[in-house]
Amino acid sequence: MSTGLPDFFKHNLWANLRLLDACAELSDAQLDATMIGTFGSIRETLMHMFASEEGYAWSFTKIKPSLPLKEFSTFAGFDELRRRAEMSGTALITIAEQEDLSQIFYLDGGTYKCAAVIVAIQAINHGVDHRSQIATMMSLQGIELPALDAWGYNDALAENIGK
């Protein structure tokens, strides 16, 4: 089994989809609760997470959805977030497998220069950070959390191998 950067993005997609499944079961009050030190409510954080992930994928592919999540004025809904997460997550896996990550990007209208690998690292870091914030908000509301860490991912991979 070869391992590398694509595996980080495979875990990222798996964790994002598990988190969406868990959040889809929450009440409006739970989704809209906020906590100091986090991005915003669970609903707002999910929208931000997946809008950003679309942006990271776009940095490489230059393919934007007809209506990017960052342009939504209301919550997109869990079915749409799942669809978007699968699209951007799969794109990031392919990017990690096939792209030249040493290429230089000029972001923010050409004002910010960085290697493509920095965008890849940020995509992973951003997902972990906001999943952790959502997990904290869920935990403080007494909601049981799904395992989103590497151990949970390993267990899921082992379960799928046995099927």
Whether residue 163 is contained in a domain is answered as no
Ranges of H-type helices in 24-149: 28-32, 42-61, 78-98, 116-140
Q: Confirm if 116 and 99 have CB atoms less than 8 A apart.
A: yes
> pLDDT per residue over 76-120, tens digit each?
999 999 999 999 999 999 999 999 999 999 988 889 999 999 999
Whether residue 90 is contained in a domain is answered as yes
- For the purposes of burial, counting CB atoms within 10 Å of the CB of 137, is it exposed (0-12), middle (13-18) or buried (19 or more)? buried
Q: Confirm if 54 and 68 have CB atoms less than 8 A apart.
A: yes
> pLDDT per residue over 108-140, tens digit each?
888 999 999 999 999 999 999 999 999 999 999
Count of structural domains, the chain: 1
> CATH number, domain at 131?
1.20.120.450
Whether residue 76 is contained in a domain is answered as yes
126: annotated binding-site residue? yes
**Structural domain of 96:** 5-158
11: annotated binding-site residue? no
Whether residue 135 is contained in a domain is answered as yes
Residue 114 host element (H or E): strand 112-115
Whether residue 113 is contained in a domain is answered as yes
